[in-house]
Structure 1
Amino acid sequence: MQACVRPMSFLRHPVLRSCRALRAQLPVRALHGSSAPAARGRASLLAAAGAALVAGLTAGYSHLQRAELAARIPSPGDEMEQLCADFMALPVTPMEQLREHRDDMKSRMELMIMGTQAEVCRALAQADGAASFTVDRWQRAEGGGGISCVLQDGKVFEKAGVNVSVVHGYLSEESIRQMKSRGKSLKTKDGKLPFCAMGVSSVIHPKNPHVPTIHFNYRYFEIEEADGNRQWWFGGGTDLTPTYLDQEDVVHFHQTLKDACDKHSPTFYPKYKKWCDDYFFINHRGESRGVGGIFFDDLDFASKEELFAFVESCAKAVVPCYLPIVEKHKNDSFTPEEKLWQQLRRGRYVEFNLVYDRGTKFGLATPGSRIESILMSLPLTARWEYNHIPPEDSKEGEILKVLRKPRDWVH
């Protein structure tokens, strides 16, 4: 298995095989500059992606290092140690166990999500240019733990969290009920159901109202029923929540995700795009949380190998689908009125996450869950005003029309 932290492929651009090759094909200033590109075309988006990605992948970890990281490669020739050297912290599972079960899906998934966390954190830290991530390792008394990486009060990002969790133990009765309500037929023993779950989850709230919020989550789940039967499934998705509509940005975002899906099946993107539109809907408001993306859950219709490859492709698409948009808008000027509208839209984001989000509910119902990590998705600031209704012909009214009726962005 290759290292999990490696260069992303621009999905409509010649595949760049290595960091060295990528650096050789871009001007040196791309490694240092952080200004937004002047051009607003498709090429400018990919150029910005290249600059952000190269800088992110080549940036050092001097501001992130801890004593744990400095001394963690006792044997330079050890493949597993080298694989983990670029992670934000050591994996949750002991290294000896990962080595022994290297081909097991749980081990492969943990290494993949650790690599995704590091790759996204590098790109975000480079794009921000001022703040660094706090790396917080935590343990769960009931089994497992996680690594939370959070950047707050940066130059570009008000709050950016990228969390990994790898947990195991017994599901609570409430968690079992939630799974059964989704159609899972589960056989418990004395009301208990052994499980293991792992995933990477992220929500990024920028300061500038012209830079959208993004959320992504990719996870793997296994349970063992009373009769010894094991069930497993994958879930995840990536979705975008802009404050103002920039159609070019949304098309780029969706096209990048579609390209990742199309590598595995032409049916995936339309199916999981609709699933995303249906899932991220705030029923009591009659509007979507954002402009969608892809979302899926309980995937077990193919082999583990096939579905893991699909999930990995989706995780690799996070940086190229989002960082070009950040680079394009992070230096845009904005008015106090536009900042107020961002705060109001964040209020909608909070409403969805606390009222409807399945992951939040599952986390709160799981014994020993880390509340700080679960509620990491909430912004530092938000606002609610009584009966705030913007004019229909305003920029605020424009985004509301999109949120009330999802669009097909790539056809």
Structure 2
Amino acid sequence: MPSGDRRDAVRAMVRAGQRELVAELERLDGGARFGRSDGARLLENGAVFERACVVAADRGETLGLTVVLHPRNPYVPAFHARFRYCEYAGSWWFGGAVDLMPCYGFAEDAAHFHRTLKNYCDTLDPAFHAQAKRTCDDLFRLPHHDEPRGIGGIAFDHLRPPGPDGWRRAAAFTAAGIATLVPAYLPIVRRRKDRPHGDRERQWQLHRRGRYVEFALIHDATAADAEAVLMALPPLARWETGCTPEPGSAEAELAAFLVPRDWAAETTVAAS
């Protein structure tokens, strides 16, 4: 397939994915609507999402889709995903990353999220998920705090399957990844969005958002578009030194919950 046709196909994939995600998120939020700015769609002050950003990027050699969701309820985890296509000097490849950032740990949610991503990865290669999960665990860490940003997910880059149908397979896999975002995340949102909470949970959420901001501004080497990065930041966050949760509290339990594990292999997960 000629280069121009490949780019047109990816561009159509990204725009379709953006339209479908925007429609699903607006339907779930129930009131707020996404505004439009070039390739970016931004929702703010919704009933479910304080800020939701869905960006379709078309910059030179790179096309991609980035999704960052900051929910209102502290019991709903924040969410990040990005898929991209690069074509340069006659070479091409696909990449992607999807991860979940909870403030409170629910095994049921973690297992659902990772199993959904594993099922997606298995459509390409049964061995793919384990490597993509390890890459994600290594990538989304806060080195200054020596802690994970969230509970991980998957990450891959330079995906270029061999053979004459390699581009088609990689493009189909990427399109399937974009389509997987809704079933991976939205059931968790529906499960947690109406859970009662107070100022304690809100302050903890703002503290965890501070960790996200730190990673996005200091450690994320893949962030090339400053405007898109700033648009995807949470509307409110906080920083404090020596923040130590009360021993035995749900906030204190998060540290152990974030330690990477094979959530997709969990066989018994109690509803919580």
Tell whether the structures are fold-level matches, with TM greater than 0.5. yes
- 1:198–1:221 contact (8 Å) kept in structure 2: yes
What is the rounded CA distance, in whole Å, between the counterparts of 2:140 and 2:248 in structure 1?
25
Q: CA deviation digits over 1:284-313, x for unaligned, max 9?
A: 101000000100112224321121122122
Residue matched to 2:62: 197
Residue matched to 1:401: 256
Residue matched to 1:298: 158
Could you list the structure 1 runs, at least 4 aligned residues long, displaced by more than 6 angstroms after superposition: none
Could you say what secondary structure the match of 2:222 adopts? helix
Which amino acid in 2 is paired with 1:210? Answer: Y
Measure how far apart 1:107 and its partner are: 1.1
Measure how far apart 1:104 and its partner are: 2.1
- Which gives a bigger RCO, structure 1 or 2 (Cα 8 Å, sep 6+)? 2
What is the rounded CA distance, in whole Å, between the counterparts of 1:294 and 1:242 in structure 2?
16
Which amino acid in 2 is paired with 1:132? Answer: R
Residue matched to 1:221: 86
Could you say what secondary structure the match of 2:263 adopts? coil
Please point out which of 235, 245, 250 is paired with 1:380.
Answer: 235
Measure how far apart 1:103 and its partner are: 8.0
- 1:162–1:200 contact (8 Å) kept in structure 2: yes
- Please give the residue correspondences for 1:23-62 in structure 2 after superposition, counting only pairs within 5 Å: none
What is the rounded CA distance, in whole Å, between the counterparts of 1:286 and 1:200 in structure 2?
29
Q: CA RMSD in A?
A: 1.6
What is the rounded CA distance, in whole Å, between the counterparts of 1:331 and 1:350 in structure 2?
25
Residue matched to 1:410: 264
What is the rounded CA distance, in whole Å, between the counterparts of 1:336 and 1:128 in structure 2?
22
What is the rounded CA distance, in whole Å, between the counterparts of 1:326 and 1:272 in structure 2?
24
Please identify, of 102-111 and 255-264, the stretch whose mean Cα deviation from structure 2 is larger. Answer: 102-111
Measure how far apart 1:257 and its partner are: 0.7
Q: CA deviation digits over 1:27-62, x for unaligned, max 9?
A: xxxxxxxxxxxxxxxxxxxxxxxxxxxxxxxxxxxx
Gaps of 5+ in 2: 266-272
- Please give the residue correspondences for 1:3-152 in structure 2 after superposition, counting only pairs within 5 Å: 104-137=5-38, 147-152=39-44
- 2:120–2:176 contact (8 Å) kept in structure 1: yes
The answer to whether 1:272 aligns with 2:173 is no
Residue matched to 2:186: 323
Residue matched to 1:163: 55
Which amino acid in 1 is paired with 2:264? Answer: V
Measure how far apart 1:167 and its partner are: 1.6
The answer to whether 1:286 aligns with 2:187 is no
What is the rounded CA distance, in whole Å, between the counterparts of 2:191 and 2:78 in structure 1?
14
- 1:203–1:376 contact (8 Å) kept in structure 2: no
| Number of aligned residue pairs | 262
Q: CA deviation digits over 1:334-375, x for unaligned, max 9?
A: 011011000000000011111111222xx1xxxxx5x32232
Measure how far apart 1:408 and its partner are: 0.9
- 2:216–2:229 contact (8 Å) kept in structure 1: no
Pair member with larger Rg: 1
- 1:240–1:293 contact (8 Å) kept in structure 2: yes
Residue matched to 2:268: none
What is the rounded CA distance, in whole Å, between the counterparts of 1:329 and 1:312 in structure 2?
28
Could you say what secondary structure the match of 1:244 adopts? coil
Please point out which of 63, 68, 76 is paired with 1:211.
Answer: 76
- 1:261–1:313 contact (8 Å) kept in structure 2: no
- 1:234–1:307 contact (8 Å) kept in structure 2: yes
Q: 1:297/1:102 Cα in 2 relative to 1: closer, same or farther (>3 Å)?
A: closer
Gaps of 5+ in 1: 1-100, 138-146, 169-195, 225-229, 364-368
- 2:161–2:169 contact (8 Å) kept in structure 1: no
Which amino acid in 1 is paired with 2:181? Answer: V
**TM-score computed with the length of structure 2 as normaliser:** 0.92
Could you say what secondary structure the match of 1:104 adopts? helix
Residue matched to 1:62: none
